[in-house]
Every structure is written in structure tokens, then in C-alpha cells.
């Protein structure tokens, strides 16, 4: 019952966002999604300490997210959102596979093969892929403002993650795997755009993405480990898994997909770059990971890129001398 109430509150949050002026609707939703995704590492650290593999972690949160959304839609009388046309199934297969395998699996492999900071900056290449792919696929204009924000956000992510000046070591294969993770992140945005352009509600995109993603992860999931940890500490594990699902899947995916209704794909992918900034703050408050001066500069650059996307004319307008 508490889960249904949470989803009702999330829907009310979307309604409040809708009340903002047109230019700010999508921006608010995507920024909140990025901040929520930034909390993912907190839960992953705990589950990794319990022996969960990356794909077992992904299965746990995606399958639980699917079940929660299915129950909520039925209780709230929104069963019509479960209807999809057979000819559009490929869109949802694309969102499920890209988020579960191309993004999560390759990102986990990149972390093992490289330093964490280098893996993070390789994942931050996603907006580059999105901007380049959205131009020919959806006809989205690659404006000078978008390029400026993209470069600044990428530099900010590099500084925030610690990839610059940290002495990171890497292998060519590890870099390639990391770039595949960034491409998977971008592909999720692209496939989501296809589904939205076909008139589907963001909730429809989300529930099928979770369902298909969990099916893809199922063959690689350690079900005995999940069962043993839950039976050993049922209350604490239930709370952990539910919170992980709410803040790493349900809330961010719903708001990110909703926000994409009000802006082009490239802009959304750049705005969500606040994720590493949010992760840095979680590290400070929960793990006492004090950021360096370089990290602080990176945070400032990411926030500046977000602001730049909402200034008509970009840097030229921002720094133009007043006559």
C-alpha cells in the first residue's frame, strides 16, 4: 500500500512540474531524475558487499520495479497503459535491452577493467552519442548552444569524477567497453524517443522497459543469493531492495521519460549530467568522501552547462557586452 502511495506522490510531483512554465517542465523533471540516479552508487555499494553481481543487482531492482508498477497501475485503474501495438514492441525491447545490458553490464565491466573515475567519464560520453544520433534520426538541430553545453558538461564530469589528475590507468579494451556503456545509455534515450513519438505514455515505456530488462537479466541472476539474503534478514533486505528500486529505477526513469516529452533528446541527455554531481554529494554526506578543489570546479561546470542550455543564445548572449 505504501508503494502505491509513493507512486501517487510521484504522479503529483509530475503534476507540480507540469504547473511550471513550458520551458521549465522538462528541465525540472530531468534534473530530479539525474539527482535520483546519483543515489544508485549508495545502494550498489551495499549490495556489492553482500556478494551481488552487477546483473543480479539490476535484475533485483528492475523486476521489483515492474511488479510495483503493475500493481499500482491496476489499483489506480490505469490498465489501459498496458496496451501496446504489436508493431511497436521493438521500441520496448530496445529500451529494456539497452538499459539492462548495454548500459549496466558494460558499465560494470568498465569499472573492473579501469578505474572507477575513468569508467564514469566514459559513461559521460552518452550525450555525445545522443546529440550525434538524434540529428539524422529525429532531425534535431545541433545548435551552437547545445555544443557549448555538451563540451562544458563533459569537462565538468571529467573533473567531478576525478578522471583528470588522478593518475588513472586503463587498457584499450577497457576504454572500448566503457564507450559501449556510454552508447548503451544513449541508445536508451533514442529508443525512448521512438516510443514517445508513437504516442505512448511515459509510464507505458517504463513498465515494459523494466519487464523486458528483468527478463534479459534473469539467466545471469543468482537467485539463491537473493533468497538467502532475504531469508537471513527479511525486514532490512526488503527495505533496502525497495528503496533501491524506488530511487534508482522508478522515480528517475519515470521523470526522465516524462521530461523528454517537453524537450529534444540531446538536451535531456546533457541535463542529466547532474548525476555525477549528485553522486558526489551523496558521497560527502554518507561516506565522508570530501571532494577536492578539482571536483568542486567540475561540479560548477556541470551546473553552468545546465544553466547555459536555458539561456537563449548561449555563451554569446551570456557574455555579450551591454550597449
Q: With the CA atoms of 226, 289, 280 and 295 taken in that order, what torsion angle do they form, in degrees rounded to the nearest 10? A: -150
Per-residue pLDDT, 162: 63
* Residue 158 or 236, more confident: 236
CB proximity list for 61: less than 8 A, separation 6 or greater: 241, 244, 245, 248, 249
Which phi and psi angles does 159 have, rounded to 5°? Answer: -70, -40
Reply yes or no on whether the pLDDT at 280 is more than 60: yes
Helix (H, G, I), strand (E, B) or coil at 140: coil
Reply yes or no on whether the pLDDT at 293 is more than 90: no
With the C-alpha atoms ordered 148, 153, 156, 162, is the resulting torsion angle positive or negative?
A: negative
What pLDDT band is residue 70 in, cutting at 50, 70 and 90? very high
What pLDDT band is residue 2 in, cutting at 50, 70 and 90? very low
Q: Per residue in 177-189, pLDDT tens?
A: 888 888 888 898 8
Distance CA 121, CA 132 (A): 18
Per-residue pLDDT, 15: 52
* Residue 71 or 103, more confident: 71
Residue 260: name the closest of 1, 26, 18, 57 by CA: 26
Which cell numbers hold the place of 177? 567497453
| Under 8 Å between Cβ of 16 and 24 | no
Distance CA 226, CA 131 (A): 39
Considering just the CA atoms, what is the radius of gyration of the chain in Å? Answer: 19
Per-residue pLDDT, 84: 94
Per-residue pLDDT, 323: 45
- Map grid coordinates 512540474 to a residue: 17
| Under 8 Å between Cβ of 100 and 92 | no
Residue 300 CB burial class (10 angstroms; 0-12, 13-18, ≥19): middle
What pLDDT band is residue 116 in, cutting at 50, 70 and 90? low
* Residue 207 or 315, more confident: 207
Residue 309: name the closest of 12, 120, 67, 34 by CA: 34
| Under 8 Å between Cβ of 97 and 277 | no
Transcribe 36-69 into DSSP letters.
HHTTHHHHHHHHHHTT--HHHHHHHHHHHHHHHH
Arithmetic mean of pLDDT, 298-302? 78
Distance CA 38, CA 35 (A): 5
Reply yes or no on whether the pLDDT at 11 is more than 90: no
| Under 8 Å between Cβ of 294 and 145 | no
What pLDDT band is residue 210 in, cutting at 50, 70 and 90? very high
Which cell numbers hold the place of 302? 556541470
What pLDDT band is residue 6 in, cutting at 50, 70 and 90? very low
What pLDDT band is residue 30 in, cutting at 50, 70 and 90? confident
Per-residue pLDDT, 298: 77
Per-residue pLDDT, 69: 93
Reply yes or no on whether the pLDDT at 300 is more than 70: yes
What pLDDT band is residue 311 in, cutting at 50, 70 and 90? low
- Measured at the CA of 78, the angle between CA 66 and CA 201, to 5 degrees, comes to 75
Per-residue pLDDT, 145: 77
Arithmetic mean of pLDDT, 240-267? 87
Per-residue pLDDT, 103: 80
Reply yes or no on whether the pLDDT at 63 is more than 70: yes
Residue 29: name the closest of 18, 39, 40 by CA: 18
Tell me, rounded to whole angstroms, the distance of Cα 35 from its chain centroid.
9
Give the H/E segment covering residue 302. Answer: helix 293-308
* HEC string for 206-244: HHHHHHHHHHHHHHHCCHHHHHHHHHHCHHHHHHHHHHH
Q: Per residue in 121-171, pLDDT tens?
A: 777 778 888 888 888 888 877 777 778 888 887 787 777 666 565 555 557
User: Does the pTM exceed 0.75?
Assistant: yes
Amino acid at each position: 500500500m505504501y508503494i502505491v502511495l509513493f507512486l501517487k506522490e510521484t504522479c503529483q510531483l509530475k503534476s507540480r512540474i507540469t504547473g511550471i512554465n513550458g520551458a521549465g517542465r522538462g528541465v525540472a523533471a530531468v534534473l530530479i531524475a539525474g539527482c535520483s540516479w546519483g543515489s544508485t552508487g549508495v545502494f550498489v555499494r551495499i549490495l556489492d558487499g553482500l556478494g551481488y553481481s552487477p546483473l543480479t543487482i539490476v535484475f533485483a531492482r528492475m523486476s521489483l520495479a515492474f511488479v510495483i508498477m503493475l500493481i499500482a497501475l491496476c489499483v489506480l485503474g490505469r490498465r489501459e497503459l498496458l496496451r501496446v501495438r504489436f508493431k511497436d514492441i521493438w521500441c520496448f525491447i530496445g529500451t529494456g535491452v539497452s538499459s539492462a545490458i548495454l548500459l549496466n553490464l558494460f558499465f560494470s565491466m568498465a569499472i573492473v577493467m579501469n578505474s572507477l573515475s575513468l569508467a564514469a567519464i566514459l559513461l559521460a560520453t552518452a550525450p555525445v552519442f545522443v546529440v550525434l544520433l538524434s540529428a539524422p534520426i529525429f532531425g534535431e538541430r545541433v545548435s551552437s548552444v547545445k555544443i557549448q553545453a555538451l563540451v562544458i558538461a563533459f569537462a565538468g564530469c571529467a573533473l567531478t569524477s576525478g578522471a583528470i589528475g588522478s593518475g588513472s590507468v586503463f587498457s584499450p579494451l577497457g576504454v572500448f567497453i566503457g564507450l559501449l556503456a556510454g552508447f548503451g545509455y544513449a541508445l536508451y534515450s533514442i529508443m525512448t524517443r521512438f516510443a514517445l513519438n508513437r504516442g505512448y505514455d511515459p509510464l507505458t515505456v517504463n513498465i515494459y522497459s523494466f519487464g523486458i530488462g528483468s527478463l534479459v537479466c534473469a539467466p545471469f541472476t543468482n537467485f539463491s543469493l537473493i533468497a538467502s539474503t532475504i531469508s537471513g534478514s527479511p525486514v532490512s533486505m526488503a527495505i533496502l531492495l525497495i528503496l533501491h528500486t524506488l530511487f534508482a529505477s522508478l522515480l528517475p526513469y519515470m521523470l526522465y521519460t516524462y521530461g523528454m516529452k517537453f524537450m529534444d533528446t540531446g538536451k535531456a541527455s546533457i541535463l542529466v549530467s547532474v548525476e555525477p554531481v549528485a553522486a558526489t554529494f551523496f558521497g560527502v554526506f554518507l561516506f565522508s568522501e570530501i571532494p577536492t578543489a578539482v571536483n568542486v570546479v567540475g561540479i560548477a561546470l556541470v551546473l553552468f552547462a545546465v544553466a547555459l542550455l536555458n539561456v537563449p543564445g548561449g555563451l554569446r548572449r551570456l557574455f555579450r557586452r551591454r550597449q
